[in-house]
Chain A
Amino acid sequence: MIGVIDYYNTQFGELWQKSLFDLVEEVIEKILKQKGIDKGEIDAIFFGNMLSGVLENNLHTASKIAEIVKLNIPIFRTEAACASGGVAFNLACQYLNSNENKTVLVIGAEKMSDFSPEQVVTGLAAAASGEEQEAGLTFPGLYALMANYYLEKYKYNEKNLAYVPYKNHYHGSLNDKAQFRKKISIEAVLKSPYVAYPLKVLDSSPITDGAAGLLLTNKKNYKNNKGVYVLSSEIATDTISLKARKNLDELAATKIASKKAFKAAQLAPKDINVAELHDCFSIAEILAMEDLGFWKKGTGGGKIKELGTMFGSGEKLIVNTSGGLKAAGHPVGATGIKQIGELFLQLTGQARNRQVKNVKYGLAQNVGGSGGSAVVTILGI
């Protein structure tokens, strides 16, 4: 069994005074100190990051991390767009499944605010298909197409979508490391300017700087006093082009990965108590709830309005207690690690004022691009 033995994340937001590797260094220093282990006990590092090659011309990041930690251990960098963190975590699990008695560090980090919005948007578009980029489609555009299709097919409107950021901003207000700690009203979401119809500014996750790290081990009885285990972590891929998809009201990669993850964990959706879902745009959380089997396809637009997945609802499944990508922020490579880290905090009773009661199982869904990659991870105690 792979144990998750600790978690640390930096403040998420506009961190003008910090570079990408300042953030990485902070995570390494803090998580080792917090857990009280020496860096010499780390056997390998897995690093999730998307944009350092595109924006900073820094691709050989493994070696840069070696310089920071002053170790000659194996270090791997993963890139799968916004799923870079989730894929790094999955790869770390594969490594631990293949090697006995190891302890590894998984880090996700992204530095976005030093660059103009045009540069960042162009960089992020590298995760989309070349043809769709040439056609002028941006990520807001791709998700807007899915949102339009979903709203039309199931007879919902923009107000249904607005309940996602409404809920997640409330959760963000409870997370002192979130980028946005301000509660917002449904009306404010509906009045915010359009980014790509029907998605508005307040339907969309922001540009964020931040880093997060997890310590994993497969050593028996090694500092796993909280007893949190990886029950499963599964990756699935799908066509990069939206035009090549069979259905626009689902992410097939999420469906496939979650099916495998539930099977491997020997659990069903009804067993999950907390979930961190990839709400890069409001429509994405609704699709994810359906694709993961929490809600029946086509019912999500109505179910979200009941706010049963909001902290304090008393329902069994609470979603995106961290604030999600929308309110906690979306430092691309760090997001997948932060999601699993939030599950760790919830499972170990460390989520303070947003702590959900009686948490036994948590699920994280991390998506790359518009569904070209998806990682579904289930943790349990």
Chain B
Amino acid sequence: MIGIVDYGFYLPKYKISVEEIAKVWGKRKEDIESSLNVKEKTVSGLDEDSLTMAYEASSMALKNFPEREKIKTVLFGSETHPYAVNPASTILAEFLGIEGNYLAYDTEFACKAGTSAAISAFGLIKSGFTDYALVAASDKATGQPHDSLEYTAASGAVSLLLGKKNLVLEIIDYGSFSSDTPDFWRREGIRYPSHSGRFTGKPSYFHHVESATKNILKKNNLTPAEFKYAVFHMPNGKFPINISASLGFNYKQVEASLVAPILGNSYTASGLMGLVSVLETAKENDLIFFCSYGSGAGSDAFIFKVTAQLKNKRKKLASTLKDKKYLNYTQYLKFMNAI
């Protein structure tokens, strides 16, 4: 059985509230909060980027894993890699003490670059290429000032160590659904992403998540009721609630994963941060449904089963959230290198 051996996360301590941003643009915070179900979001510091956050998350994932030479694959999924050309995966590996005999590459598929990399890692382990693979999903997400993305685009990282032994999560199955649906993009040399407004909803997020979910449930002859938890990508706090309800999951199944209202959308790390939150309470033999979404567009669905190992490797997300410092809008612009 292949699965997740260990995991780690990183959240910057800086935050900005929706109210602070809304105030600048003459909007009412109640309107924004109710339309997005987001109250505040994380902001990485002036000296942080997707690579430094990936390093922090990966360090946590590898804290109890000294055999770095057994990791022969390091993948880095992001849409805010620090370089357009020059891999972040090799820098990450070197800083983690992984040297020489490893395959490294960066992946990009909007918010699902990390989960797509995890599917590749699964294949490389299954083929015997490597015993362990490290997958980092990290973003310092940007939204143009005065764009609706500004209220949600956040920062954060999650890293997964995949392997075959001492698993915390078994990967029972995975599947993917993709199509050419240009709902969100950023061209080379352009600073901020563009998006097609409401087109990012029904024909994009909802269509792909629904298709990937239905396919994998049908393939495994499972129903939503058989899962203890469900985790969906969180572009905001509303979409995961709406999609889970329309697919037949109840609110209790998805509730533990809903971190977007207080963290925003850290793009590749967003859904995985929801998984980290779920793992704080999940118990042995619980089935967890997980589905990512990446604009452009596609969804990766996973069925996880919790093992007895989880209780020894559980990470504390909830207590980390308490350590925060609020920024005003000007500080926020400075931290995002906008001024």
Contacts and interface: CB of A to CB of B under 8 A. Distances in A.
Interface in B197-225: 197-199, 202-203
Nearest to B207: A16
Contact of B203 (A17, A116, A117): A17
Contact of A14 (B27, B28, B202): B202
B32 to A, nearest CB: 9
Given A193-B27, A193-B28, A117 B202 contact: no
Nearest to B26: A194
A16 B197 contact: no
B31 A16 contact: no
A116 B27 CA distance: 20
Contacts of A193: 27-28, 31
A17 B202 CA distance: 11
B28 to A, nearest CB: 6
A210 to B, nearest CB: 16
Nearest to B35: A193
A113 interface: yes
B31 A113 contact: no
B196 A14 contact: no
B199 A113 contact: yes
Interface residues of B, number: 9
B210 to A, nearest CB: 15
A16 B199 contact: yes
B147 to A, nearest CB: 11
Contacts of A16: 199, 202-203
B202 A116 contact: no
A16 B198 CA distance: 10
Nearest to B195: A116
A366 B198 CA distance: 28
Interface string A317-336: 00000000000000000000
Grouping DSSP codes into helix (H, G, I), strand (E, B) and loop, the A interface class, with mixed when no group exceeds half, is loop
A117 B28 contact: no
A14 B197 CA distance: 12
Contacts of A17: 203
Given A16-B203, A17-B203, A116 B31 contact: no
A14 B31 contact: no
A16 B28 CA distance: 30
A216 to B, nearest CB: 36
Contacts of A113: 198-199
A170 to B, nearest CB: 23
A112 B31 CA distance: 25
A95 B221 CA distance: 63
Interface in B202-260: 202-203
A116 B196 CA distance: 6
A16 B203 CA distance: 7
Nearest to A14: B198
Contacts of A116: 196-197
Nearest to A115: B196
Interface string A10-31: 0000101100000000000000
Contacts of B196: 116
Contacts of B28: 193
Interface in A56-112: none
A14 B199 CA distance: 9
Contacts of B27: 193
Interface string A190-203: 00010000000000
Contacts of A117: 197
A193 B30 CA distance: 10
A198 to B, nearest CB: 15
Nearest to B196: A116
A113 B196 CA distance: 9
A183 to B, nearest CB: 19
B242 to A, nearest CB: 15
A17 B203 CA distance: 9
A40 B197 CA distance: 42
Nearest to A201: B31
A113 B199 CA distance: 8
5 contacts: A14-B202, A16-B202, A116-B196, A193-B27, A193-B31
Closest 5 A-B residue pairs measured CB to CB?
A16-B203, A193-B31, A16-B199, A117-B197, A193-B28
